[in-house]
């Protein structure tokens, strides 16, 4: 099943059995400078109880994709096409009421910066209780009790006291825990975590990731973990999706992607990641160039201006023809499987150590 | 909170001292002798000298200022009569003590200011929020351009126009006049409805634009998006989350506006022949009535300073981050 094809092609049907199925998703923003193709024909599936890591640089469309799943884009400036099917329910054309009933209830989101993502004007407890009161029809008192229970579950000490605190009275790690408590208060089936650990120091990062895994075990939720940190994702994700310029360029299990990556962009991401065991004097190898403008992405493969392997493909194909990405394990690159393997083993792997 | 109030009150006193000194010395910078006004037609140098002495104008200006300030707290016995504290002196123009005159004029100004505040908050915030709620729609465009047009309407233009249309030619509304609320609430209302509305035009336009822009700004806040991500309804997010954040700039401007309105709305009071503090200020300037002018100036400055302190105190109720630091 190929999905990264031109929009004229018939969109493949959503996979049966997948809890969340995204097919040929296009998200376009109209701005003063023109139309930004933030997500350009993206497809992926996610099963219950599984964690999908979405990796990519800033502006690669990771967050935009997930805001589209929740239906949080401003319809006046955003054009969304394609299919988003959550447990058999189509979300792209769904009414606001339908989405409101799902948001915070069956699908929830953890945002990156808990300081700005929590309202400074209301207590943590109230903000956690709100979706519970709304979606479960609980009373205010029940909501408060539930908030205390959730705070305890995410490991806030003295939850009965802290429930009446305001977000600014919490530390960064505690705020992030409170965000998680807020997202999980209705036991959502789908949890989207948008760089949940970026603003935190490393020890707290590990705690938060452990917490997410524990909660997944308990509730059986499907998790989408958005990050630009391969280190984070390698700890918790079952599958990985690498995004570049609004498109998926490589997908596979976390193990496959980390041990035998196929796409030059993934190689670049791995090469720019510091390793604990490597020599201090060893240089990191950043990906040359900058991410492309999504107003006018490069023709052909969007990565070709920054790619060091276009000569291997030859014939200028990279600048003309856009490579496809199959739904299973694979990468959107014109290099042959043989070439991918040999380049990785010969030049990339030695550098990664 | 107590420390805050003490600190701010001390600051306010210093500001008022500066304003009073500035007004006082500015008054004497005018090449004009206030005593000439009381002297009348048959003015002899001897007469003038007596009047100078009676009004205290024979002292050097700094001494006059000192005496003026001291007498506010101690009171003084003037030739014209006794003046208990707070004594702002006797009016040069009509030999009435200043403070009772101020108190007498205050209800008119208070009624005008508070009434028009109700009108411009109701309409200004209402239309501003509606425009933000329907951002980009026809409603928004109409309201935004209307507020732009209205904000260029001047009271001395609209006022007479409204009077001509609704009072003199068609007798739809009563001639504006001040009747105390305690005396007859119906006449109080009908006498002030035109001044309220005319005075509110400019404010309404400004509050519409301000409410619209702060609401739009707040709606783009991340915590507002979080609230939507929790499944809260559009109206709930709008009124609970975005509205709360836009209160701070609105309260700030409201404090300044209300403070200056309570000092008297000069043009409105002049246009509708209402004898409030604004009218009193204009009269005392044209009559070079120093004590009265000082009284009005100090009173309006005190109002502005007071409302600034109030606004800072209100911030603490709106934003818990300010409350606890």
Give yes or no for A29 touching B (CB within 8 A).
no
Q: Name residues whose C-beta falls within 8 Å of residue A265's C-beta, 6 or more positions apart in sequence.
A: A242, A244, A249, A250, A287, A303, A306, A307
Reduced to 3 states (helix: H, G, I; strand: E, B; else coil), residue A28 is strand
Average pLDDT, integer, range B195-200? 92
Q: Highest mean pLDDT range out of A2-6, A57-61, B94-98, B160-164?
A: B160-164
The size of the A-B interface in CB pairs under 8 A is 75
Closest residue, chain B, to A111 (C-alpha): B226
Round to whole Å and give the CA distance between B305 and B18: 12
Query: Does A319 map to a domain?
Result: yes
What is chain B's length? Answer: 325
Average pLDDT, integer, range A240-268? 91
| CATH of range B99-324; options 3.40.50.360, 1.10.3720.10, 3.50.30.30, 3.40.640.10 | 1.10.3720.10
Query: Does A155 map to a domain?
Result: no
- Nearest 5°: the CA angle B291, B293, B297 is 120
Distance from CA of A277 to the nearest CA of B (A): 38
Q: For residue range A122-178, list pLDDT tens digits in order.
A: 999 999 999 999 999 999 999 999 999 999 988 899 999 999 999 999 998 899 999
Give yes or no for B235 touching A (CB within 8 A).
no
Average pLDDT, integer, range B271-297? 89
Q: Cα A276 from chain centroid?
A: 25
Query: Does A130 map to a domain?
Result: no
What are the E-state strand segments in A133-210? Answer: 190-194
Closest residue, chain B, to A182 (C-alpha): B230
Distance from CA of A109 to the nearest CA of B (A): 7
Q: Provide φ and ψ at A82, rounded to 5°.
A: 110, -170
Query: Does A289 map to a domain?
Result: yes
Place of tokens 């209800």: B107
* CB nearest to A109's CB, from B229, B232, B324: B229
CB–CB contact B321 A113 (8 Å):
no
Closest residue, chain A, to B242 (C-alpha): A119
Round to whole Å and give the CA distance between A127 and A182: 7
Q: Per-residue confidence at A229, pLDDT binned at 50, 70, 90?
A: confident
Give the pLDDT confidence score for residue A130 in this predicted structure.
Answer: 95
Average pLDDT, integer, range A304-332? 87
Give the pLDDT confidence score for residue A122 in this predicted structure.
Answer: 94
For chain A, what is the domain count?
1
Closest residue, chain B, to A97 (C-alpha): B233
DSSP lists the bridge partners of residue A2 as A326
Q: Which of A104, A164, A198 to mutate to test the interface with B (most CBs of B within 10 A)?
A: A104
Round to whole Å and give the CA distance between A228 and A291: 13
CB–CB contact B231 A102 (8 Å):
yes
> Residue A108 in contact with residue A186, Cβ under 8 Å?
yes
Q: Domain residues for A295?
A: 257-352
Query: Does A278 map to a domain?
Result: yes
Q: What is the DSSP letter of A322?
A: P
A3 has a pLDDT exceeding 60 = no
- Could you tell me which of A198, A146, A194, A39 has the C-alpha nearest to residue B222? A194
CB–CB contact A119 B324 (8 Å):
no
Give the pLDDT confidence score for residue A8 in this predicted structure.
Answer: 37
Query: Does A129 map to a domain?
Result: no
Average pLDDT, integer, range A272-290? 74
Give the pLDDT confidence score for residue A81 in this predicted structure.
Answer: 93
Q: Per-residue confidence at A199, pLDDT binned at 50, 70, 90?
A: confident
Distance from CA of A180 to the nearest CA of B (A): 12
Interface pTM, i.e. ipTM:
0.86
Round to whole Å and give the CA distance between A153 and A110: 16
CB–CB contact B222 A121 (8 Å):
no
Q: Per-residue confidence at B321, pLDDT binned at 50, 70, 90?
A: confident
Interface of B with A in 119-158 (CB under 8 A): 135-136
In percent, the amount of chain B with pLDDT more than 70 equals: 99
CB–CB contact B136 A76 (8 Å):
yes
Give yes or no for B319 touching A (CB within 8 A).
yes
* CB nearest to A116's CB, from B222, B234, B244: B222
Average pLDDT, integer, range A92-111? 91
In percent, the amount of chain A with pLDDT more than 70 equals: 93
Query: Does A274 map to a domain?
Result: yes
Q: Per-residue confidence at B324, pLDDT binned at 50, 70, 90?
A: low
Q: Per-residue confidence at A7, pLDDT binned at 50, 70, 90?
A: very low
The domain segmentation of chain B, as residue ranges, is 2-98, 99-324
Interface of A with B in 61-120 (CB under 8 A): 70, 72, 76, 96, 99-105, 108-109, 111, 113, 116-120
Closest residue, chain B, to A132 (C-alpha): B230
CB–CB contact A166 B241 (8 Å):
no
Mean pLDDT of chain A: 87
Q: Per-residue confidence at A4, pLDDT binned at 50, 70, 90?
A: very low
Q: Which residues of B touch A165 (CB under 8 A)?
A: none
B208 has a pLDDT exceeding 90 = yes
Give the pLDDT confidence score for residue B123 in this predicted structure.
Answer: 95
Q: Cα A290 from chain centroid?
A: 21
* CB nearest to A72's CB, from B221, B223, B225: B225
Query: Does A35 map to a domain?
Result: no
CB–CB contact A72 B228 (8 Å):
yes
- Could you tell me which of A84, A98, A111 has the C-alpha nearest to residue A19? A84
> Residue A304 in contact with residue A288, Cβ under 8 Å?
no
Least confident among A207-221, B108-122, B247-261:
A207-221
Closest residue, chain A, to B137 (C-alpha): A76
Helix A124-136 vs helix A140-153: crossing angle, to nearest 10: 120
Residue B174 corresponds to which tokens in the numbers above? 């009563």
């Amino acid at each position: 099943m190929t999905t990264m094809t031109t929009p004229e092609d018939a969109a493949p049907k959503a996979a049966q059995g997948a809890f969340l199925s995204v097919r040929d998703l296009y998200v376009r923003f109209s701005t003063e400078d023109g139309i930004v193709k933030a997500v350009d024909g993206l497809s992926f599936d996610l099963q219950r109880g599984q964690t999908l890591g979405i990796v990519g640089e800033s502006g690669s469309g990771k967050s935009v994709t997930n805001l589209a799943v929740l239906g949080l884009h401003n319809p006046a400036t955003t054009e969304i096409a394609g299919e988003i099917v959550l447990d058999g329910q189509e979300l792209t054309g769904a009414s606001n009421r339908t989405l409101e009933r799902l948001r915070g209830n069956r699908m929830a989101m953890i945002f990156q910066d808990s300081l700005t993502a929590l309202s400074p004007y209301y207590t943590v407890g109230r903000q956690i209780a709100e979706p519970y009161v709304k979606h479960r029809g609980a009373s205010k008192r029940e909501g408060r009790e539930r908030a205390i229970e959730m705070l305890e579950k995410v490991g806030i000490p003295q939850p009965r006291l802290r429930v009446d605190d305001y977000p600014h009275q919490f530390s960064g790690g505690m705020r992030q825990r409170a965000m998680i408590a807020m997202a999980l208060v209705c036991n959502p089936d789908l949890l989207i975590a948008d760089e949940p650990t970026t603003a935190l120091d490393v020890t707290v990062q590990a705690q938060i990731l452990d917490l997410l895994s524990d909660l997944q075990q308990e509730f059986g939720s499907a998790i989408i973990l958005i990050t630009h940190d391969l280190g984070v994702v390698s700890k918790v994700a079952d599958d990985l999706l690498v995004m570049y310029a609004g498109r998926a360029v490589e997908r596979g299990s976390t193990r496959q992607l980390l041990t035998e990556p196929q796409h030059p962009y993934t190689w670049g991401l791995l090469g720019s990641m510091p390793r604990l065991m490597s020599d201090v004097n060893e240089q990191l190898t950043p990906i040359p160039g900058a991410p492309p403008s999504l107003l006018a992405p490069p023709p052909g493969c969007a990565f070709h201006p920054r790619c060091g392997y276009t000569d291997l493909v030859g014939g200028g194909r990279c600048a003309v023809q856009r490579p496809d990405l199959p739904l299973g394990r694979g990468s959107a690159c014109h290099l042959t499987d043989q070439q991918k393997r040999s380049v990785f083993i010969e030049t990339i792997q030695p550098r990664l150590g | 909170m107590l420390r805050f109030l003490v600190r701010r009150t001390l600051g306010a006193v210093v500001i008022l001292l500066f304003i009073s000194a500035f007004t006082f010395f500015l008054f004497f910078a005018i090449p004009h002798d206030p005593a000439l006004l009381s002297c009348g037609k048959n003015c002899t140098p001897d007469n003038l000298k007596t009047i100078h002495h009676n009004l205290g104008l024979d002292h050097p200006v700094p001494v006059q200022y000192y005496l003026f300030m001291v007498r506010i707290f101690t009171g003084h016995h003037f030739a014209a009569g006794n003046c208990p504290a707070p004594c702002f002196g006797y009016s040069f123009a009509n030999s009435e003590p200043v403070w009772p005159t101020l108190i007498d004029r205050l209800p008119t100004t208070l009624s005008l200011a508070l009434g028009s505040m109700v009108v411009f908050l109701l309409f200004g915030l209402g239309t501003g929020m509606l425009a933000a709620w329907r951002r980009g729609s026809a409603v928004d465009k109409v309201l935004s351009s209307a507020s732009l047009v209205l904000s260029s309407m001047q009271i001395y233009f609209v006022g007479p126009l409204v009077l001509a249309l609704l009072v003199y030619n068609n007798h739809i509304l009563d001639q504006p006049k001040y009747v105390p609320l305690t005396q007859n609430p119906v006449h109080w209302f009908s006498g002030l409805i035109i001044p309220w509305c005319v005075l509110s035009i400019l404010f309404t336009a400004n509050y519409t634009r301000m409410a619209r822009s702060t609401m739009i700004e707040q709606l783009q806040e991340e915590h507002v998006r979080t609230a939507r991500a929790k499944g809260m309804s559009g109206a709930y997010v709008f009124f609970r989350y975005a509205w709360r954040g836009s209160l701070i700039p609105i309260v700030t401007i409201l404090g300044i506006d209300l403070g200056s309105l309570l000092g008297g709305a000069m043009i409105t009071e002049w246009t509708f022949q209402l004898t409030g503090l604004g009218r009193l200020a204009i009269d005392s300037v044209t009559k070079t009535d120093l004590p009265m002018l000082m009284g009005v100036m100090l009173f309006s400055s005190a109002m502005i300073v007071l409302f600034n302190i109030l606004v800072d105190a209100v911030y603490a109720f709106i934003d818990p981050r300010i409350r606890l630091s």
